[in-house]
Chains A and B, each alone.
Chain A
Amino acid sequence: MASEAQGAGGHSPLAQFDVTKIVDLRIGGLELHITNSAIWMMVATALVIVFTTVFISRRAMVPGRMQSLVELSYEFVANMIKDNVGNEGRPYFPFIFTLFMFILACNLLGLLPYIFTVTSQIVVTFGLAFVVFIGVTIIGFIKHGLGFFKFFLPHGVPGFLAPLVIPIEVLSYLIRPVSLGLRLFANLTAGHTMLKVFASFIVPLGAFYILPAAIPMAAVIGLTVLEFAIAFLQAYVFAVLSCIYLHDAIHMH
């Protein structure tokens, strides 16, 4: 739910996804405008930094509420890596933790009214997904050298099927970042659009009778709860799939 305030004709359920320029910024030929998307990304980053540094600065032996929340999120991601990658995944903890916290912060921020949902931009999700994809591929080649190409021929495939199986496997490997980015984008966009559509029923119906307006109102309340679950779930899914790709690169199968 965002930008109802922006644009006079912003009643389309998709108007909330408009990227608008806030500050004009041109360096050389590059258009480095600061958009609402960029601003909310910075806010999300700042929130994560505050969350993980300020709240834990007391380092109490018996943690308070906020400190235990930070420790909970740390342990959550640490266990996720341990379960999905194994002990070899430990060096990659900072990356996965950053990824998870950033996506979670963006998703949750986007649920507040008037705040732009950064993760509903396919550029952002694809950017994150390709960072994971390229990083994981590089790790795979570092760990296994050229042996990483064996990844594309599963065990037990008869030799005469190799010309068919290898292109399919390579394609299926190339598809992974796209489906990773698309999943986050689709879930967030669909959820927020649905919320807006249901919300736009309330006022027209309420102008005539109160009772029919209560139905979309209840739907919006229910959807909001669902959206909170999705915000968390999608951050989790993104992090888990990154872990699984990392596992594949480190262990190869």
Chain B
Amino acid sequence: MTQDNGPPDLSQLHKRIAAVREREEARTRPDPAKRAMTSGYGMALRLAIEMVAALGVSVFLGFWIDKELKMAPLFMIIFLILGMGAGFINVYRTVSGLTHGSLRGPNENRRDADKNGGPGGE
């Protein structure tokens, strides 16, 4: 696409488009994640699944370690408690829109949870 026979101000227009694109890129660079928070029902289901998955995975893991080491209920109990902790952390992160590995205040490192609206906001 060469603009040889275009109007004379086409190159200027190109520059303007580039400038606007630059600004737009800069605006969206902090990658705010549009979190898929929709209805209360969806949110509730999501949090419930988060909790159940946490407990399921950790109890399974503890059970497996117990079976391998033959230390009957010890690791299952340890992993149950850890799993509750992990589950609550995941729930907290889901609700407040934090990334993995951060426990800072809700204003820092925050993904824009509800500013961008639901997934329909495309």
Cα of A167 to Cα of B49 in the assembled complex, Å: 21
In contact, A172 and B119 (Cβ under 8 angstroms)? no
Interface size of A by CB at 8 A reads 45
Q: Which residues of A contact B49 (CB under 8 A)?
A: 179, 182-183, 186
- For A241, the chain B residues whose CB sits under 8 A away are 36
Q: Does A152 touch B at the CB level, under 8 Å? A: yes
B95 contacts the other chain (Cβ, under 8 Å)?
no
A168 touches B85 (CB 8 A): yes
**Cβ-defined contact, A83 with B33, below 8 A:** yes
**A252 contacts partner chain B, Cβ-Cβ < 8 Å:** yes
- A86 and B54 form a contact (CB under 8 A): no
Q: Is the CB of A85 within 8 A of B100?
A: no
B38 within 8 A of A: yes
Interface residues on chain B, size class: 35 or more
Whether A237 sits at the interface, judged by CB under 8 Å, is yes
Alpha-carbon gap, A159 to B41, bound state (A): 39
List chain B residues, Cβ under 8 A from A64. none
Residue contact A154 to B85, C-beta cutoff 8 Å: no
Contact, CB under 8 Å: A172 / B102: no
With a cutoff of 8 Å between Cβ atoms, the chain A residues found around residue B25 in the complex are 87
Interface flags for A233-253 (1: CB within 8 Å of B; 0: not) read 100110011011101100011
B117 an interface residue at 8 Å Cβ cutoff? no
Contacts A155-B104, A186-B45 known; A172 to B99 CB distance under 8 Å?
no
Partner of B101, one of A76, A154, A183: A154
B56 / chain A contacts, CB cutoff of 8 Å: 178
Chain A residues near B29: list those with CB within 8 A. 86
User: In the assembly, what is the distance between CA of A59 and CA of B56, in Å?
Assistant: 49
Taking a contact as CB atoms under 8 Å apart, the answer to whether B31 and A175 are in contact is no
Verify if B74 is at the interface (C-beta below 8 Å from A): no
B101 and A83 contact, CB distance less than 8 A: no
> Is there a chain A Cβ closer than 8 Å to B11's Cβ?
no
A151 within 8 Å of B by Cβ? yes
The answer for the CA separation of A252 and B109 in the assembled complex, in Å, is 12
Binary per-residue interface labels of chain B (58-81) against chain A in the complex, 1 for a CB within 8 Å, 0 otherwise: 100100000000000000000100
Looking at A157, A232, A237, the one whose CB has the most chain B CB atoms below 10 A away is A237
Seen from chain A, the residues whose Cβ lies within 8 Å of a Cβ on chain B are 76, 79-80, 82-87, 151-157, 167-169, 171-176, 178-179, 182-183, 186-187, 190, 232-233, 236-237, 240-241, 243-245, 247-248, 252-253
Contacts A169-B100, A233-B119, A248-B100 given; 6 further ones with Cβ under 8 A? Answer: A83-B28, A84-B33, A171-B54, A171-B85, A236-B119, A240-B35
